[in-house]
């Protein structure tokens, strides 16, 4: 990968934070957006997963469940609906 994990993680965080907790994203949607954005840098799903894992471990983002279903979503801490 030509892009540092920290840069990718920061961009993922900014993508989620820009909605001010109003919107949650499916992890797959986050991956697709980052892969498309950094296509020229060779970013792949594995890189995105590592960056998202970093954010989850640092508690900058959290996994939530969508309306009691099995669908996991990524959002800001404290903004669970």
Q: Which residues contact 61 (CB under 8 A, 6 or more apart)?
A: 12, 13, 16, 52, 55, 74, 75, 76, 77
Q: What is the pLDDT of residue 51?
A: 95
Per-residue pLDDT of the chain (81 residues; tens, 9 = 90+): 467 889 999 999 999 989 876 777 889 999 999 999 998 988 999 999 999 999 999 999 988 876 666 778 888 887 655
Q: What is the pLDDT of residue 73?
A: 84
For the entire predicted model, the pTM comes to 0.83
Determine the CATH number of domain 5-75. 1.10.10.10
**Count of CB atoms within 10 A of residue 1's CB?**
14
Cβ atoms 25, 73 nearer than 8 A:
yes
């Amino acid at each position: 990968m030509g892009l540092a994990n920290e840069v990718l993680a920061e961009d993922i965080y900014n993508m989620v934070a820009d909605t001010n907790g109003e919107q949650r994203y499916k992890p797959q949607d986050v991956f697709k957006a980052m892969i498309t954005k950094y296509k020229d840098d060779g970013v792949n799903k594995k890189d995105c997963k590592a960056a998202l894992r970093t954010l989850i471990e640092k508690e900058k983002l959290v996994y939530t469940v969508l309306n009691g279903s099995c669908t996991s979503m990524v959002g800001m801490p404290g903004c669970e609906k």
